[in-house]
């Protein structure tokens, strides 16, 4: 998960590429993401938005999302790419967005971190600790993204615009993301945590 990769070093602003990775289903609240993208595009009409993930799990919801894209006149800005090999697309993403209303530990944040991509995510599941840190040392690294409220396209749009308009901050958050995933979410860290738990339980 946390192997060394070439980090994104894009400085583009108006032509930034915004990404979403996940199933196109209601629990991911894609409609809030689409509405946020409309607000962002009003300020930055040349942005590109790509959604990567299967569209066949909630077919009726996917159709609703397609209709919303058409209604908001975003067809030239936003596109559904379907299932892809993420290793072929993440290097071109400037900012990842997650608007879920429920999550556990979203792997997309860790995947983005491997490429040094900052994430705008709702305050659900472990998103807060993944972006702001969990332990004192982890928190000291700094933010690797921006947390927003659920069902709030305005707040999501403002966070995306902040990252688009401030490439230096975006790159710094990306560096923090990559260090965080390597320091705290590597395979060796996972095995050590598992070992510690096992030893604690067996010692009881």
* pLDDT score for 104: 86
Pick the closest to residue 18 from 167, 134, 145, 120 (CA basis). 120
* pLDDT score for 102: 95
24, part of any domain: yes
1, part of any domain: no
d(C-alpha 13, C-alpha 66), whole Å = 26
4, part of any domain: no
Question: What's the pLDDT band for 202 if we cut at 50, 70, 90?
Answer: low
Using the predicted structure, report yes or no on whether residue 9 has a pLDDT greater than 80: no
* pLDDT score for 6: 67
d(C-alpha 130, C-alpha 14), whole Å = 27
* pLDDT score for 2: 46
Pick the closest to residue 114 from 178, 65, 174 (CA basis). 178
108, part of any domain: yes
87, part of any domain: yes
97, part of any domain: yes
CA 140 to chain centre: 21
Tens of pLDDT, residue by residue over 13-58, are 899 999 999 999 999 999 999 999 999 999 999 999 999 999 999 9
d(C-alpha 95, C-alpha 115), whole Å = 11
CATH at residue 145: 3.40.50.2000
* Structural domain containing residue 151: 17-202
d(C-alpha 112, C-alpha 146), whole Å = 14
The count of C-alpha atoms lying within 13 angstroms of the C-alpha of 49, restricted to the half-sphere facing its C-beta, is: 25
Tens of pLDDT, residue by residue over 153-182, are 999 999 999 999 999 999 999 999 999 999
Look at residue 169 and give its three-state secondary structure: helix
d(C-alpha 202, C-alpha 204), whole Å = 5
Give the chain's domain count.
1
Q: Which uninterrupted H or E stretch holds 49? A: strand 48-52
Verdict on whether the full-model pTM lies above 0.75: yes
3, part of any domain: no
Tens of pLDDT, residue by residue over 113-142, are 999 999 999 999 999 999 999 999 999 999
pLDDT above 70 covers a percentage of the chain that reads: 87
178, part of any domain: yes
């Amino acid at each position: 998960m946390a192997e060394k990769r070439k980090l994104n070093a894009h400085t583009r602003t108006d032509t930034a590429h915004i990404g979403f990775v996940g199933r196109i289903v209601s629990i991911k609240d894609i409609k809030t993401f689409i509405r946020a993208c409309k607000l962002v595009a009003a300020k930055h009409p040349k942005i590109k938005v790509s959604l990567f993930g299967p569209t066949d799990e909630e077919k009726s919801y996917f159709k609703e999302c397609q209709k919303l894209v058409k209604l908001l006149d975003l067809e030239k800005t936003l596109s559904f790419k379907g299932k892809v090999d993420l290793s072929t697309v993440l290097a071109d993403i400037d900012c990842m967005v997650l608007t879920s209303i429920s999550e556990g530990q979203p792997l997309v944040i860790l995947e983005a971190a491997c490429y040094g991509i900052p994430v705008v995510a709702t305050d659900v599941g472990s998103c807060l600790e993944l972006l702001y840190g969990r332990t004192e040392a982890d928190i000291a690294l700094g933010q690797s993204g921006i947390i927003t409220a659920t069902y709030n396209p305005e707040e999501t749009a403002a966070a995306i615009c902040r990252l688009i308009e401030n490439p230096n901050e975006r790159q710094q958050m990306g560096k923090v993301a990559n260090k965080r995933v390597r320091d705290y979410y590597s395979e060796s860290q996972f095995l050590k945590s598992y070992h510690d738990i096992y030893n604690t339980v067996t010692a009881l």
